[in-house]
Amino acid sequence: MPRSVVLLSGGMDSATCLAVARAAGNSCFALSFDYGQKHRAELDAAAHIARQMGATEHRVIRIDLAQLGGSALTDSAIAVPEAGGVGIPVTYVPARNTVFLSLGLAWAEVLAADSIYAGVNAVDYSGYPDCRPEYIAAFQLMANLATKRAVEGALLEIRTPLISLSKAAIVRLGNELKVDFSATVSCYSADFSGAACGHCDACELRRVGFAAAGIPDPTRYQF
């Protein structure tokens, strides 16, 4: 069975991405990051989802991005904004996906995995530059010059099966693949139990996605 590293935040997109990777017949090595995010409940969700979806292994790497600052998701001095702002919001974490994919690349090389799955999306998203197809293509190109394994001829593919789907299409796809959305945490301000704020960008995208898909929304809210 081919091996894949799957970046698993614990949100609905990465859970659906793991389901796609499993359905494609991969042995999945789920990778999460304890990076100083305020919404740490997503890590419990990721562990739960990895078990539920039959990941071969789940690992959490600790890397303190809060130490570098610059984001509402890691800096207690910057509030998570309400949904609906203009431009790239302050929830953007500098170079986050590059750091996550790089660590995924390291693990993929050790595992002799042929692919990394990432649940990035460039349709119903917050405008983060490191979610766009041109970024992913450039990362793959770099990755295949970076490692001993690539130099020896075993190329790596960065797979982003959700990148051009609407949020509604992701909800429908996850539903078909039996993703337990009730176990996923998307909210940037989720409390310790994973209950959502209902006001942030991530909550808004998620709510509208379920409504547009016509599928009941299992999200637990704080109110």
Q: Which residues bind its own copies (CB under 8 A)?
A: 59, 61-65, 67-70, 88, 92-99, 101-103, 105-107, 109-110, 128-130, 132, 134-135, 138-139, 141-143, 145-148, 150-151
Task: Give the full edge-to-edge strand order of the sheet including 3-7.
Answer: 27-34, 3-7, 115-117, 157-159
Nearer to its own copies, 110 or 211 (CB): 110
What is the closest distance, in whole angstroms, from the C-beta atom of residue 198 to its own copies in the complex? 26
Tell me the three state secondary structure of residue 33.
Answer: strand
Residue with tokens 């304890």: 34
Nearer to its own copies, 150 or 212 (CB): 150
Nearer to its own copies, 108 or 205 (CB): 108
Q: What is the DSSP letter of 56?
A: S
Nearer to its own copies, 104 or 174 (CB): 104
What is the closest distance, in whole angstroms, from the C-beta atom of residue 126 to its own copies in the complex? 11
Nearer to its own copies, 135 or 188 (CB): 135
Q: What is the DSSP letter of 31?
A: E
Compute the distance between CA of residue 33 and CA of residue 131 in angstroms, rounded to an integer. 17
Query: Both tokens of residue 197?
Result: 């704020």
Q: Which residues of 39-52 are buried (b: 16+ CB within 10 A; e: fewer)?
A: bbbbbbbbbbbbee
Extended strands (E) in 154-203: 157-159
What is the closest distance, in whole angstroms, from the C-beta atom of residue 67 to its own copies in the complex? 7
What is the closest distance, in whole angstroms, from the C-beta atom of residue 220 to its own copies in the complex? 31
What is the closest distance, in whole angstroms, from the C-beta atom of residue 59 to its own copies in the complex? 7
